[in-house]
Structure 1
Amino acid sequence: MGDEEQAGGSRRAGPTWLLRQLQTAMGDAETALARRLGIGPTDLAAMTHLTFAPTPIGPRELSGRLGITPGATTELVDRLERAGHLERRRDTVDRRRVQLHASTATLAEVSGALGPLLAALDAVAAGLDAHDRDVVTRYLGDVLAAYEGFARPDLA
């Protein structure tokens, strides 16, 4: 039986069903954060990519990650730069390339806005014993790998 099968008229709250509920709650939290920052959802998605990319990204890569045209990306980057949310910097190796970076002020603003949520999540994790924390960490790592595998361009 799957997580979403009806059992006596009620849904089972298994891991997959709870992950789907979590996705909805995370989307709601992102909407709330965007509203608090005074930006739209695409702007927030762009800022998220810039903040969490393992290496700095440029406009072309941002365009691909967001699935929007290069022209729309230019408008987006210009808008975020005017609002003080991001900075364009020349690549130190290839001066022709531009890197996009979240501004220090925006990072501080986001950190402040997310502080209560992150503290609540830390408290949840602190309530787990070492064994349960290891199990949850392994499970979430496997879930992350599944999502990353699904999102790979060669699977699209």
Structure 2
Amino acid sequence: MQRETNPRPTLGHDWGVPLVYVYGPSTDTEDCSVTCDNVDAGCMAVNHLVSCGRRHIAIIGGGETYTAATDRTKGALEALAELGIEPAGPIRYGKWDESWGRAATRLLLDQGVTFDAVVCQNDQLARGCIDVLKQQDLRIPDDVAVIGRR
């Protein structure tokens, strides 16, 4: 799924009104944007989990075409690599919703992946993940720690 920029904001330029994009960059060098450091967010999530004693960390991401998802995953993988830890199972990409969080968690469980933590790239994925873990009588965070991200 490719995201498109709405052409209407160009009217601001026609009227001399400055534009500020939130949560994503503009392709126009005249515009400003406000966003977070998603790579650092992924690093921070992994570092926190490791500081809590977690060593088998799975990653569930949103769509691969979303910069936030790929940047958060990049940061998580960088932190794992710096610590000499392999991710638990393959990275799972899909939609940014609870249903994908549930499906990706079921895939991890069905494939016998051993994990004691899951980094989810948004809160909806984390909610879906937690639903499935609870159905398996796993305790959050005692058995499996789950981190989401707004």
User: What TM-score do the two structures reach when normalised by structure 1?
Assistant: 0.23
TM value normalised by structure 2: 0.24
Please identify which structure carries the higher helix content: 1
Name which structure has the greater RCO, CA cutoff 8 Å, separation 6+. 2
Higher percent of residues as strand: 2
Greater Rg over alpha carbons, structure: 1
